[in-house]
């Protein structure tokens, strides 16, 4: 089955700096890669996703890149703000449309 590794597990940045979170996956058949933001005590919220036929996607301060050959994808957050502080999860979906989640990254943005 699919295995998704996520790094780092914690990330602390200064407000205004950029944050990068990286994930690798094992199943070359996976073709959908969403990123979720989870605040304490709440369910995950989809913030951006990318499909395997696209190498990069951007939405305002958030961007995701995908390298299918290397089987890794990354989340980039620019001009971080304190409200970006949360746990971020990457996921991969392939056969059966089931999501396999990475271990999560706790992002802390210091004002």
Three-class SS state of 55: coil
Compose the 73-92 pattern: x for residues touching another protein by CB under 8 A, - for all others: ----------------x---
Order the strands of the 72-77 sheet from edge to edge.
4-7, 19-25, 72-77, 62-67, 56-59
Contact stretch for another protein (CB under 8 A) within 14-22, 46-54, 63-71, 72-80:
46-54
Query: Could you say which of 20, 22, 101, 108 contacts another protein (CB under 8 A)?
Result: 101
Exposure string (b/e) for 66-102, b if CB count within 10 Å is 16 or more? bebeebbbbbbbeebeeebbbbbbbbbbbeeeebbbb
Query: Could you say which of 24, 63, 93, 107 contacts another protein (CB under 8 A)?
Result: 93
Q: Residue with structure tokens 């995908």?
A: 66
Least gap, CB of 91 to another protein (angstroms):
8
The contact set with another protein (CB under 8 A) reads: 32, 34, 36, 41-46, 49, 51, 89, 93, 96-104
């Amino acid at each position: 089955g699919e295995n998704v590794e996520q790094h780092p597990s914690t990330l602390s940045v200064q407000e205004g700096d950029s944050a990068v979170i990286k994930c690798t996956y094992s199943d070359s058949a996976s073709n959908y890669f969403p990123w979720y933001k989870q605040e304490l005590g709440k369910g995950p919220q989809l913030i951006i996703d990318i499909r395997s036929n696209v190498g990069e996607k951007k939405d305002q301060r958030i961007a995701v890149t995908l390298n299918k050959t290397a089987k890794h994808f990354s989340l980039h957050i620019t001009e971080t703000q304190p409200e970006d502080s949360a746990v971020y999860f990457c996921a991969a979906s392939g056969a059966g449309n089931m999501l396999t989640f990475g271990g999560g990254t706790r992002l802390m943005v210091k004002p």
